[in-house]
Structure 1
Amino acid sequence: MTATTAATPTAAPALQLCVKTPLVFSPSLSAKAGCRVYLKMESTQPSGSFKIRGIGHVASTLAAEAASKGVRAHLVSSSGGNAGLAATHAARALGLECTIFVPITAKAHVLEKLRADGGDVVVGGRHWAEADATAREFVEKKEGAIYIHPFDHPLVFEGHSRMMNEVIEQMDELQAGKPAAVVCSVGGGGLISGVFTGLKAVAPHVHVVACETTGAASFLASLRSSFSYNPPSVELVRLDKIDSIASTLGAVQVAETSVKLALEHEGGVSSVTMSDAKAIDAAKEFQLDHQYLPEPACAAALVPLYTPSVLRSLFPSLSFSTPGSPPPADAPAVVVVVCGGSTMTLENFVGYENEFEGAERGVVKVFRGGKERVEEEVEA
């Protein structure tokens, strides 16, 4: 590719690419869970979710490389959700143009946000894979175009990993000790790959709990089929379809790196899956406790904290206090990544509440990996 214009990306002076997010102790959740609960509030990122950490890192790194060759980068991504919003924000912060390809199922209010943030939005394709294929074709033809995968790229993992550095630093500042576990939602595997990478560097013995709704549990499917040999044996499983309202968990197959890192993680990994209705219940409780309404994908990570029996199944050797009263200062500490997101509206939430009113909540399923490979159904 021959450059016609030499240009260095110029950052918008008033825009931050991403920020160090608060780590907040939750008295209400701690009392309900019977342990000390800390919330890593990624919902406060400029783009509205953790996605800007990884996508911003990819964008700034590859744009700088392009500029060193005299090429002005043009960011391209394929997401009608949080990854797309992260890409448009990164483009604005770096002073670049951005084109986002989305399927026809993308929500209207998200398209408005993408355009308001300066993105050129191209709508087409029945689902993400078709929109993504069109995005890649565009990159092949567009000079300076940089394709940014929504979740599966080493620089994405690296960008997300810095969150764990912050968590451990913030726990130290609070004199709270090391957490027993980090709990996060899993979609395509970008976030949890960053969690594993970050913890390996700063707190390798911390356990990781991966949360998914039952109809989008592609990480669990691959984790079940893979084994912690030396080297690890990874067998990816592709779901036939996504059957969940948690659309931002909607990857039919996770990134291979996420499963490999899970098998290698010294602190071990567990999986928790639950119904969509349970995720909506957790979202409602969290809104009452913290005045923030998480989208279903984010709320999946809150279900274990609002379900003390699940925590006890995950950590049978830890000592939890009786739910309903403040836990003691030496109670186990659990960090939950409140990953944020922009797909939930009040109208959506009311619709979900009506849809699941009177519906069976079902059991929460716990899978403990490692040599044990214990699977258990927990009554909520």
Structure 2
Amino acid sequence: MTLPRHGVSLCSLYQARQRIAGQAVRTPLVRSPALSARFDAEILLKLETLQPTGAFKLRGATNMIAALIERHGRDALRAGVTTASTGNHGRAVAHAAAHLGVPAVICLSRLVPANKVVAIEVLGAEVRRVGRNQDEAFIEVARLVDEEGMTLIPPFDDALVAAGQGTIGLELMEDAPELDRVFVGLSGGGLLGGIGAAIKAIRPATRITGVSLSDGAAMWKSLQAGRPVEVEEVASLADSLGGGIGRDNRCTLALAREVMDEHFQVSEVAIAHAMVDILEHEKLLVEGAAAVGLAAIVEHKLDVRGQKVALILSGNGVALETFDRARALAGR
């Protein structure tokens, strides 16, 4: 069988599910009575906030490290693993590495909130603060790989990482096989691409809706240009949607282009309102990136009446001061 150019197949998704069993959990898909009534639709929430690390990233990181050990043996990772991250991926790599007995060094830019730094350090990984953005943090990652023999675990641009995230799509299709639409935050493309690959292989009629920040939407700009485009990274309530896609993107640009049906950008105000709404009505404290699906429906006045819609609540890594800022921005 020939793999697609991006390397993510239905077979690789099921292999990923086997590898991550026991580390990443199968998260609930729950109906929101409040949102369903508000939009006259069946609104379902995929609670990736319940992962042991608080976000979906654990799936991809675990799949890649486990696959490397499976293929090359544990000695191949003796020097350890490394990555750059906006926070959630670093925490996932630290968790997976500790569970599998592998050293880890996580490089973070100065934009990453302090609460995410602490969450990584408590898992036993070494944290290095490097640069003003994720691309600059990756300079130190490249040095660790070239000079110290560490193995890179990319935050998104790898078929193994994307397949790990795509196990969410398998679960969605099993729990709600007649989904009409799935809203997914779009940053590097691993989450949207993986979920989309699973769903399009099983139910092509389900629409995959990507949601990006209004500023700093690197993947969306790259899709429009047909090649990787660098954009200025800006601070956001949805900080985990920041960062570039890499100048030599090998996987997720092609994957997102293949599976995404439509795309919307959302403002900081819309994200703030959505974060507060989710806490008030669902009693869930979520980070900005987890609220962008709801933000898109509201800000763009999308008609989802009569549809079965899934929102991916991707993570809960929000500091209380960040949520307070969201409340102030929303005027609530």
| TMscore range, shorter length | 0.7 to 0.9
Indicate whether 1:221 and 2:221 are aligned.
Answer: yes
1:213 deviates by 2.0
In structure 1, the partner of 2:98 is: 92
Q: Deviations over 1:202-234 (max 9, x none)?
A: 112211111112013233323334xxxxxxxx3
**Higher percent of residues as helix:** 2
In structure 2, the partner of 1:161 is: 166
In structure 2, the partner of 1:260 is: 254
Aligned partner letter, 1:252: G
Aligned partner letter, 1:264: E
1:67 deviates by 1.7
Aligned partner letter, 1:180: D
CA contact (8 A) 1:280 1:353 kept: yes
Matches within 5 A, 1:188-199: 188-199=188-199
**Aligned equivalents of 1:66, 1:130: Cα separation in 2:** 30
**Aligned equivalents of 2:196, 2:84: Cα separation in 1:** 25
**Aligned equivalents of 1:20, 1:149: Cα separation in 2:** 23
**Percent identity among equivalent residues?**
27
**Aligned equivalents of 2:99, 2:86: Cα separation in 1:** 20
Match of 2:326 among 352, 366, 372: 352
Q: 1:197 to 1:285 in 2, by over 3 A?
A: same
Matches within 5 A, 1:126-137: 126-137=132-143
Q: 1:169 to 1:271 in 2, by over 3 A?
A: same
Q: 1:181 to 1:71 in 2, by over 3 A?
A: closer
1:256 deviates by 6.2
Aligned partner letter, 2:129: V
Indicate whether 1:44 and 2:50 are aligned.
Answer: yes
Larger radius of gyration: 1
In structure 1, the partner of 2:290 is: 298
1:99 deviates by 1.1
Match of 1:274 among 253, 266, 281: 266
**Aligned equivalents of 1:62, 1:244: Cα separation in 2:** 34
CA contact (8 A) 1:157 1:197 kept: no
In structure 1, the partner of 2:278 is: 286
Q: Which ranges of structure 1 fall in alignment gaps of 5 or more residues?
A: 1-14, 173-177, 226-233, 321-330, 359-380
1:33 deviates by 1.4
Q: Which ranges of structure 2 fall in alignment gaps of 5 or more residues?
A: 1-20
Number of positions where the alignment pairs a residue of Structure 1 with one of Structure 2: 310
**Aligned equivalents of 2:41, 2:168: Cα separation in 1:** 22
Q: 1:188 to 1:91 in 2, by over 3 A?
A: same
CA contact (8 A) 1:23 1:40 kept: yes
**Aligned equivalents of 2:330, 2:175: Cα separation in 1:** 38
**Aligned equivalents of 2:137, 2:243: Cα separation in 1:** 14
TM-score of the two chains, using structure 2 as the length reference: 0.85
Aligned partner letter, 1:154: A
Q: Deviations over 1:32-75 (max 9, x none)?
A: 11110111111111111111111111111113334266663612
Q: Please say which of residues 84-93 and 256-265 is displaced more in the overlay.
A: 256-265
Q: 1:264 to 1:350 in 2, by over 3 A?
A: closer
Q: Deviations over 1:162-195 (max 9, x none)?
A: 11111111125xxxxx111111111111111102
In structure 1, the partner of 2:204 is: 204
Q: Deviations over 1:225-257 (max 9, x none)?
A: 4xxxxxxxx334332443633221112347564
Aligned partner letter, 2:323: F
